[in-house]
Each structure stands twice: as structure tokens, then as C-alpha cells.
Structure 1
């Protein structure tokens, strides 16, 4: 973790159930500087929320966090205030603090931003794509196939991120990449919730269609393929929300 790698240990036993003990995902803080505690607690809680160790809608027991991490209430309260400002937790009057449910309306807005920028990205690349970019995309797709075959969820997640970064890097527009990164981060919890072997296989096929269209210099096909790829996230999200309405909010 930033600013505190040597100060944090995570002694959760291998194979233990995070769902049974969501606080078990939190690290103990050892020898951390007092002035840095709030930042370390915030980062640990953020990771637990984004990784879904703490599920949407879960009430957060501040005392349990304090005991697990070995800190006082002040850095925990300060960290939760920052996470509330970031939209990851919410304070319920006279009830406490809970992990913010995933807001479908917000997801749609972030996907709208991504679609507007990434569809134009592949349009420009289909018109003229450097060979090194095509080679990088092909290599990435090869590793995606390996990850799907091996059922490597985290590995595929990272390759998925890298795939989109290759496309955005090729535009030479760093500000566009920054904007997409912000929206992509806001989607992270939803994407991890929907991660499954089937979804990964579909994502791989969608990525292949995007690259095939770029290679053929078919601008409209590339744009359609990317648009379809991002639309599928919304469709999958709605299907998942109908099965687990407790995790979502319209």
C-alpha cells in the first residue's frame, strides 16, 4: 500500500472465508506512524470495499475495525468520513455507517462516458493503427485466452484493464485516458461482482471482435463492437441486480 507497505501485515489464514468474517480482510497495522494512520486505514477499508470483502449494504462495525487493525476510533472515523465523501460508504442517522450499495444510475453515467470516449478511440485506430499496437493487442488477447482457460479471475481482470489501456495509449491523448480511468474505477465493484468464467469468455470474444475490426480498418464495425462491449456490461448488471437486489440501488 502507498506510504505504508512495511507497516502493514495481513495475517488472515489461507483458505479462510472472507464472507464469514469481512473484517478478516483488513490488515493489522504494526509500527505505522501515528500521523499516517488515517491514510492507511482508509486505503485498507477502500480495498476491502472494492474487492467486495465488505459487500454493498453491509453495516460497518467501527469497534470491529479498531480491534482488527489495532487502532483507535479516531483514524477509523476519519477514514470513513473520507470514504463517505468518495461515495463508497454512507452514514445513516442513528444507525451507523454502511457500505454504499452500487447505484445503477451512477454506473450508467460512467459507462456513458466510457462509451463516448472509447468508441471514438477505436474509430480513430481503425482508420490508422500502428503495427506495434496491433502486436500488443494480439499478445494481450493471447494471455486473455490463457487466463480464461485457467479460470484466473484476477489475472483476467488485469488483462482486461491492460487491453483498454493499449487502445487508449495508442491515441496519444493522456487526458482522455485519465478521464476513462476515473470512470473505470467507479465501475470496479460492479465488474468484480459480475466476474465469472462465462462473463470472461464473453468479454474475450467481444475484445477479439474489436481487434478484428481495427485490423480490417473497418471504422464502423470497430465502433459498433466497442459500443456493444460496453452495453453488455449494463445488460449483465441489470440481470445481476435482479438476482441480488440487496446489493444495488436504482
Structure 2
């Protein structure tokens, strides 16, 4: 696989450390985008020589980019055998889903006690756009609207640290969301989002909490099923039921 051909290079870099820092940023951004969107699949080798030529830089910013992406759990660095795109860890996905289930469920329960007409209007508009994206088969558009839907709700609570925690968990799940981003999953997600909005409209905290939990649990169940069918994408594809 020619990894370099999948990544857009954005201009030359000079040899100063300051410019190397700028080069590192754009390499990180390009690689992250390619990895998260699955243009570069889990397990793929990352060739430093190809990337240095592709971006027109020295080896230093490429090595720094690999180190940054390793810290994000996206790249594995093995000194003797080269660097690869990290396989997806189900254990990490379960933990991040757990965090989202707990925090977003409580956020929804809190929002259901408030009469926030402006929020409901924004949610309804987002859902209308989601419906159009599902009907048009617009997968990138639906993905963006899905993110906006959740961020609308979390932001409305007004707790910045909670929002940051949810955002970190969400970012760690981006590749998972792309893997499961089929037309069927998008239709199910739209229905689950609609149930969440309905509970908010009715001002029912327990129903809102349960609707969010059901949505996140549904995605996790689908991921476990996907891991059984496609174990080569995962570092730990043993289903949860088999570990009990």
C-alpha cells in the first residue's frame, strides 16, 4: 500500500526547528485525518521515507508526528520493525462508551428538567437535516450532523470540563464510528436521536437518560458484532460475553 499517495502534502518545509514545528503540525493533521477516516486502515505500515518525500521535509518532523499520534493511540512505533497504524482496541472503545453513557445520560436528564425552547429548536433543525442526509445517502454529512447533535446537547449543560471529557472520549471513537457508518446504522441512529429529542420535549428526565443509554448501548453491541466478523481490524476482538 502506498501510504504517501493517500495523504495531501501542503507545501514545503525549511530546516529550522521553528519551521519543523509547523511541518510537524501539518503532518500530524494529515495523518490523523487519513487514519480516522480509514483512508489508512488499521495495521497499515507507515513508511518514513515515503512520508518525508511526500511532505518535502526531513525525518525529524515525521518522527515527531509519529510520536504525537502514538500518544493519541493512533500509531504504534516499533524501533526494530517500523511504525504502523494502531489496531482498534475494543477495551478502549468500551471504556469510552462507558464514559459517554454516564456523562451524556446525566446531561440529558438535567436538560429534561429545563424548558429550553431554543435548544429544542436547534435539535429539531439538526434532526431535519439528519433525515435528509439519511435519505440522500450522505454518509459524511450524516457523520457531521451526528457530532453536532451530541455537541448541541452537551454544550447546553454549560459544564466545560464535562464537555471536554466527552469530546476526548468521542475523538477516541472516531474510527469506530466510521467503521459502523453504514446506511442502516445511520437510519438507526436517526431513530435513536429522535427518541432522545422526544424525551426532552416531554421533559422526562428518566426517559431522556434511558434514551441516551439505549443509543450508546446499541452502537456498542453493533461494534462487538463487527469485531467478531472483522477481527483483523482489532487488537483485542474477543467479545465481552466470552470474557465473563
Aligned mate of 2:190, from 204, 215, 221: 204
TM-score, normalised via structure 2 length: 0.90
- Quote the residue 1:82 is aligned against: 68
1:109-188 aligned at under 5 Å gives the runs 109-188=95-174
Aligned mate of 1:70, from 36, 46, 56: 56
Alpha carbons of structure 1 residues 129 and 56: separation in structure 2 relative to 1, 3 Å: farther
In 2, the alpha carbon distance for the partners of 1:161 and 1:241 equals 23
| Shift of residue 93, structure 1, vs aligned partner | 4.3
In 2, the alpha carbon distance for the partners of 1:76 and 1:212 equals 48
Q: Is the 8 A contact 1:118 1:226 kept in 2?
A: yes
Aligned mate of 1:50, from 26, 30, 36: 36
Mind listing any 5+ residue stretches in structure 1 that lack a counterpart?
1-19
Per-residue CA deviation, residues 7-30 of structure 1 (Å, 9 max, x unaligned), is xxxxxxxxxxxxx64422212242
Aligned: 1:102 with 2:83: no
Per-residue CA deviation, residues 201-234 of structure 1 (Å, 9 max, x unaligned), is 0000000001111111222211111001001121
Q: Is the 8 A contact 2:46 2:84 kept in 1?
A: yes
Aligned: 1:27 with 2:8: yes
TM-score, normalised via structure 1 length: 0.88
Which range moved further: 136-145 or 75-84? 75-84
Runs of 4+ off more than 6 Å: none
1:187-226 aligned at under 5 Å gives the runs 187-226=173-212
Per-residue CA deviation, residues 71-123 of structure 1 (Å, 9 max, x unaligned), is 22222112112211222111234211111100000111111111111000111
- Quote the residue 1:9 is aligned against: none
SS in 2 for 1:75: helix
Q: Is the 8 A contact 1:29 1:71 kept in 2?
A: no
C-alpha RMSD of matched pairs (Å)? 1.4
In 2, the alpha carbon distance for the partners of 1:73 and 1:31 equals 13
SS in 1 for 2:112: helix
In 1, the alpha carbon distance for the partners of 2:68 and 2:203 equals 46
How many residue pairs get matched?
Answer: 231
- Quote the residue 2:219 is aligned against: 233
